[in-house]
Amino acid sequence: NTCYKNNDSFKYLFAPEINSFSVQSQFQNTNLIKVFMPKLIKLNNTYIFDNTKLTTLDLPSLQIIDGRSFGLGIFEKVNLPSLTRMKNLNHFNSCSQLKYFQAVNLEQIGSDCFRDCKALQTVIAPLATIGNDAFFNCSLLNTLSVRESNEYIFQNFKCSCNVCPKCQGTLRDCLRKGRRFPAMQKIKQFYFEYKELGGCKMKKKSHYKCYFQN
């Protein structure tokens, strides 16, 4: 239950048995660069890892995060395979280097979740709906995989930033790329594995097919 806010005396956190944190701003404004917490399930308060130096988020069991949990982060890629719920707002606010986010079990991308994440390009959350202003000022977003079972995404998801795909009218294009994303990843993996086996030249490629010759 200790708060380490503004404490610059440590860079690593080793807590293999911890399953939750509940102190507001517990590690905010610290020099923390790496954590080992394989059993961490919940962040039960706001700003817990806000403005740290974390370069990766290796948190395989994390299911619930709260507002501004990882704001001002410097990581480029986030994959939270167990995440199901985002409470409150601004979970990844102003993560200026974040390009890729994946959470395959997430139920809703929270309101203002990626506000001012200006490098964000890809979001893979196939079960999730979208909260208002979730991609505020995310002008580079081009690939989006979310739940599309109804018109909720177009009728009720609101934004007023004027630069994101929702505001620019390109949301359907992002969703189309999101649907193709799994197949494209398999193609890329096949290509690199084939190349490692002895090299090849790509003869022809499209979104769905690749042909190779030695």
pLDDT by position in tens, the chain (length 214): 799 999 999 999 999 999 999 999 999 999 999 999 999 999 999 999 999 999 999 999 999 999 999 999 999 999 999 999 999 999 999 999 999 999 999 999 999 999 999 999 999 999 999 999 999 999 999 999 998 755 566 667 899 999 999 999 999 899 999 998 877 666 666 556 666 666 555 444 444 444 444 4
* Within-domain flag for 162: yes
If one counts the domains in the chain, the total is 2
* Within-domain flag for 6: no
Q: What is the CA radius of gyration of the chain?
A: 19
* Within-domain flag for 2: no
3-class secondary structure, 211 = strand
pTM of the model: 0.85
Residues 158 and 192 in one domain: no
Residues 164 and 188 in one domain: no
Residues 75 and 32 in one domain: yes
Residues 39 and 79 in one domain: yes
* Dihedral over alpha carbons 166, 49, 18, 87 (to 10 degrees): -40
- Whether 73 and 54 have beta carbons less than 8 Å apart is answered as yes
Residues 118 and 193 in one domain: no
Domain range for residue 38?
12-169
Residues 165 and 214 in one domain: no
